[in-house]
Each structure stands twice: as structure tokens, then as C-alpha cells.
Amino acid sequence: MLANPNAITVPLTTCVIFLLRIIQRTARVDELRSGKELIMEIYFGCSITGGRSQESEYQQIVEMLIEAGHEVPTAHLSQPDVMDLEKVIDPVDVYNRDTQWIKDCQAMIAEISTPSHGVGYEISYALSNQKPVLCLHKSGVGISKMISGNRNPLLQVKEYRSTDEIRRIIRDFLSQV
């Protein structure tokens, strides 16, 4: 009998999958970095529950950052099984973990083509903690006026048409951080 009958019971396989993903991510970071010195810690934000139509772009952005030698604590958010990974974590723990990661990072990059309450909150939180933020969105996609109308000098909002353009925009942004 559980001490707390309202506690969420998580299948062991879900926990194992979550731990394996962390191990795989760590190994992948080490492999991609291959002796490169860590340049920056970058918080990556993207839609999780709001929709995953830009998942390919999420993965490409994270891979670009890791290949360049950056640490991306939220790299797992780009993976297709992120919902399975995140559902085993208490919302309070997610909030505490993610806000600490934002405080610890040197910058934030967010893909905002798909609306997300969480990403909007993370952007605001990063800006309130004096972190430079780059918001990327696909060309032609409408974005929130709370983002496009924000004149904070730490915020850059850029549209892209291709992976090459994403790479250039990110490189330019990080060169200013």
C-alpha cells in the first residue's frame, strides 16, 4: 500500500526509459563534443503539449548547439518521446528544475512557431533574469504579439526559411552573448 493513495504510480518501464534517455543524451553530448571545451550552457525551449509539428527543427537546433560544444540541459525536449519522459515528473519538480536551468544558463533559444504557455513563461522568466533570448519561428507563421511587441533589448525574434538560416541566426545570436 502506498503511503499516499493520491500519488501517481509510474510503471517501471517508463522510469527505465527515462533513465536510458538521460544516459544516451549524456553519451551523445560527449560524443559530439569530442574534446571541445564547453562554450556555453544554452536553455532550449519548445512546445511540448501544444503541438510537435516543428519537432524536426527542435532536433536540428539542439544538435547544432551540441555540435558547437554547448551544453543543452533541455536537449531531451527535442526527442519524440518527450511526453513519456516528462509525465513521470511532478509539475513542481519540472518548474523547479527548469527555472534553475534558466538561472544557470548564459542564454535561451526558443522555437516559437507552435504556441506554448510554458515557452512564453520561460521566455519571460529568462528575460527577468537578464538572460539574452533568441526566439525562432518559421517564416509566415504568426506569433504572439506579447513576443513580437516586446522591445526588451535582450530579446531577438527571428524568422527562418531553412536549416541553414537557423544555423546562421543562432551563430549570429551567440556571437553577441
pLDDT in tens, 125-155: 999 999 999 999 999 999 999 999 999 999 9
pLDDT digits (tens, 9 = 90+) for 57-107: 999 999 999 999 999 998 888 877 776 777 778 889 989 999 999 999 999
d(CA 71, CA 89): 22
pLDDT given for residue 13 in this prediction: 46
Q: Which three cell numbers stand for residue 95?
A: 518548474
Cβ distance 50 to 115 under 8 Å?
A: yes
Domains in the chain (CATH in brackets) are 12-175 (3.40.50.450)
**pLDDT of 114:** 92
- Which pLDDT belongs to residue 53? 76
**Average pLDDT over every residue of 40-49:** 90
Nearest to 167 by CA among 115, 120, 109: 109
- According to the model, what pLDDT value does residue 19 have? 52
Residue type (1 letter), 44: F
- Tell me what pLDDT residue 7 has: 47
Q: What is the largest CA-CA distance in the chain?
A: 56
Residue type, 50: G
Q: Tens digits of per-residue pLDDT, 1-20? A: 444 444 444 445 444 445 54
CA 122 to chain centre: 10
The confidence score (pLDDT) of residue 30 equals 54
The cell numbers describing 140, all together, are 509566415
Helix (H) or strand (E) holding 64: helix 55-67
Q: How many CB atoms lie within 10 A of CB 143?
A: 16
Q: What tens digit of pLDDT does each residue of 158-172 get?
A: 999 999 999 999 999
Phi, psi of 134 (to 5 degrees): -110, 125
Please give the pLDDT value at position 38: 56
Which pLDDT does position 43 carry in this prediction?
97
| pTM of the predicted protein model | 0.78
E-only strand ranges, 47-169: 107-111, 133-138, 155-160
